[in-house]
Structure 1
């Protein structure tokens, strides 16, 4: 009888542990949830940033009435004011050195989580000077 109770207790504790533990993806989603969505860059009209729940992102620019993806990759929140971009793809004609690079950026999210200020520095390409940038973002519902 004691063996049976012990087995039931072990099974119960195992099931409890499995359901109470967060997966890395669940923990990451909670951490990045305020970022997830489409953000319109009011500092650079026509530009948008899309942060997805899977930790990926892409930047869009409006050129000649056409939206094009300028660069993309993954992102991760490092602290309550810093995030990092791992840029896996970027335009071949980009002025700044983005593809294959990792950049730590700063952010300030509003209390209502509908606006965000972001800033950082990217390296110049082919001997050009680095760019120190800052943008004001507003959360929007569509890419239009």
Structure 2
């Protein structure tokens, strides 16, 4: 008896695979996020829970916070948020960057309160997964912030 299928084998997307492999090997050299499309989101979501720490990834140059490392899954979620933000022409876009950093902050904190724990990562991963698979029609979900019903927002 064996397992039939694996989440990573269900979606064939060479561009996403190349991106992930470059991030995992800390060899991603572009200063920008890739120009992925909504059709790339399912392939990206496969990596949403990945806790591998990466150290070579695009940074938003306007941010005064320069994070030296990031969990792969969190960076992938930020990449997905970039796709969503570009699709709605978000007022918060800086190039293709959807926020200042691939870091979560508490949504209702009186002052900026960044969070880096596993619980916030898993909550965001679930929120993005549920958001994507909640409605098959992209235009019906694109204006919905996946983190809307969580305690978090992007920094």
The TM-score with structure 2 as length reference comes to: 0.25
Higher relative contact order (CA 8 A, sep 6+): 2
More helix by share: 2
Rg: which structure is higher? 1
